[in-house]
Chains A and B, each alone.
Chain A
Amino acid sequence: MAQATAVNIQNMDKYYGSFQALKNINLSVDKGERIVVCGPSGSGKSTLIRCINKLEDYHSGSINVLDTALDDNLDNIDAIRRETGMVFQHFNLFPHLTILENCTLAPMLVRKQSQAEAEEIAMEYLTKVKIPDQAEKYPGQLSGGQQQRVAIARALCMKPQIMLFDEPTSALDPEMISEVLDVMVSLANEGMTMICVTHEMGFARQVADRVIFMADGQVVEEAEPQTFFDNPQHERTKAFLSQILGH
């Protein structure tokens, strides 16, 4: 199968003031590939994923998403954001809109879909994440797990080619994590290009094509899950894995 590149990051640096948050990042993600990014807190993994749709600026190097250069050109940024869905740790649903409106707003404004068309697509994805019956409710009336599934549906309604997940299960009560992971697994099985920042190592083992371990703003280790978990090369990786899997 001819593989095309979805995301290509080269020699990318990012600073917060004088603090260098990301150091010389090189990462290439093929279409249809599932990447899990993990690492201790403060390692820059969230910053990295937020650079891919320019929620954060980067300062040197280059990022290409779907063969479009992510630079200061607003048209390019908009084009990339249209094709890149993102799911946040804290869901970030719009609390003043119903679940259905959360899902239809952007497709209607950005993709210029009619209301009927947008609602049909929204119901399709809400069914897929198993909450079509909540469509008329407001986000505040749903549980965390339900809200995160809505957030996934909202992103999917834009029909993106790439999905970014920024610690999607970290703010959830333990018993709700699996309902969100189930949705993500089924999405992975359909061939969606996914970059997930997560601490769910079971998920990484199950679906990831590659696991990337970051520490101190650098990519320390990059391997297939089998190798990564069973035979980590780097001391930092070993320490991290023993902490996260040790109990």
Chain B
Amino acid sequence: MVRTYQQYGFLSNIRANYFATRLDATMTLVFSGLILWVFWNLLNWGALNAVWSAENRDLCVGGGKGACWAVIDARWRLIMFGLYPYEEQWRSAIACIVMVGVGILSCVPWFWNAKRISVLWISGFLIFYVLMRGGFFGLTPVFEQNWGGLSLTIFIFASVSLIGMPLAIMFALLRRSELPWIARTMGLIIDIFRSLPLLAIMFTFAIVLPFVLPGWMIGDKLYRVIFGYALFFACYQAEILRGGIQALPAGQEEAAKALGMSYWHRIGYIVLPQAFRNALPPTINQFVITFKETSLVVVIGFFEILASGNAAFGTSEWSFAHVEVYFFVGLIYFIFVFALSRYGAHLERRLAVADR
């Protein structure tokens, strides 16, 4: 290959890019100094001066200069499992791992057909439910009210996405219906749901719904909240998908029609695959927001991971250690959301092959 640009050495590159003028040099020095200072302090606080484990809190409180990771050591089971009974927490751990495993497996292209993906998710949810709820195979029953921590967060996120996505597709298609009254009604429903705060929706589904529904339809509070959240998710995602569909040239559907393909074939094989690809960045965005907003279920009394974290430093013994606990919980959120974002970026690169 012919190189069309002049290659510089490492040092002359640095000089050219960061020290070209006096202003450049000053800014480089000031900002790199600032960054170093912040990182040095973080390192000191988080690692060098930190107390990693302690027999009791007093060993921690004395130092005061570093982080007290001993709180995580002492309270991690409360953070990870919430109110779930102590002796049964292994079930919650396995359920959590199963759910994450199902999530990871569904990123593998081999599972990308209707049959495999539904078998995967249905068995994933079944295993999760049997483990968490118990009452089968000699497992002690644990009611939904006592579920908590990371497995609850993941369960809510997975259920909302799984109920919400098919609803979103349905909403988006109805919104584009050729019959004006269907399209307008759907548009109105979407606009109403989007105008309400998520908190109000969760509250309504948890507290108000039992008064207006027949008894057999009520179900546990947890499932009502999940359903309300899924509707909320679906309304946003439907608009994202509609954007993806509208970005398609009219010729795509016309070509499919001209080949004699039916409505559902056109939607399933031509429109949706391309719409999802067009809408991939905002869809990943929507998943990220959905994951983080699971923490709102705390208002109706569920101990998902952030609420369990609050409980972990809620005793007088550990009340000084809230920064460390939030740091830990934040790290867990970060791992999930960052992995999701990177997977989104990977998908974009993969799908871009066809766009060359």
Contacts and interface: CB of A to CB of B under 8 A. Distances in A.
Interface of A: 53, 55, 78, 81-82, 84-86, 88, 90, 92-96, 105-106, 109-110, 138, 140-141, 151, 154-155, 158, 164
A88 B255 contact: yes
B254 A105 contact: no
A6 B269 CA distance: 30
Contact of A140 (B251, B252, B355): B355
Given A96-B277, A138-B356, A158 B254 contact: no
Given A109-B269, A138-B354, A92 B249 contact: yes
A171 B140 CA distance: 70
Contacts of A93: 255
B270 A94 contact: yes
Interface stretch (B107-115, B207-215, B258-266, B320-328): B258-266
Contacts of B15: none
A92 B260 contact: no
Contacts of A95: 274, 354-355
A106 B270 contact: no
Shortest beta-carbon contacts, A-B, top 3: A92-B255, A106-B259, A92-B251
Given A53-B257, A81-B257, A138-B353, 17 more contacts: A55-B258, A78-B260, A81-B258, A81-B259, A84-B258, A86-B258, A94-B255, A95-B355, A96-B273, A96-B351, A96-B354, A110-B260, A110-B261, A140-B356, A141-B356, A151-B255, A155-B259
Q: Which secondary structure dominates where chain A touches chain B?
A: mixed
B260 A81 contact: yes
Given A96-B273, A138-B353, A85 B258 contact: yes
Q: Which secondary structure dominates where chain B touches chain A?
A: helix
Interface of B: 249, 251-252, 254-262, 265, 269-270, 273-274, 277, 351, 353-356
7 contacts: A55-B254, A85-B258, A96-B354, A105-B269, A106-B259, A109-B262, A110-B260
A55 to B, nearest CB: 5
A2 to B, nearest CB: 28
A140 B354 contact: yes
A158 B259 contact: yes
Nearest to A157: B259
Given A96-B274, A105-B269, A82 B260 contact: yes
A183 to B, nearest CB: 18
A85 B351 CA distance: 29
A100 to B, nearest CB: 13
B266 to A, nearest CB: 10
Contact of A154 (B252, B259, B269): B259
Contacts of B252: 92, 94
A110 B259 contact: yes
Contact of B265 (A82, A88, A109, A154): A109
A52 B313 CA distance: 73
Contacts of B270: 94
B273 A106 contact: no
Contacts of A105: 259, 261, 269
Contacts of B273: 96
Contacts of A154: 259
Contacts of B259: 81, 85, 105-106, 110, 154-155, 158
A108 to B, nearest CB: 10
A106 B354 contact: no
A70 B65 CA distance: 83
Nearest to B254: A55
A84 B269 CA distance: 20
A226 to B, nearest CB: 32
A81 B354 CA distance: 28
A99 B73 CA distance: 58
Contacts of B249: 90, 92
B265 to A, nearest CB: 5
A84 B356 CA distance: 31
Contacts of A94: 252, 255-256, 270, 274
A86 B273 CA distance: 23
Contacts of B353: 138
Contacts of A78: 260, 262
B354 A88 contact: no
Contact of B260 (A90, A141, A158, A164): A158
Contacts of A151: 255
A106 B262 CA distance: 10
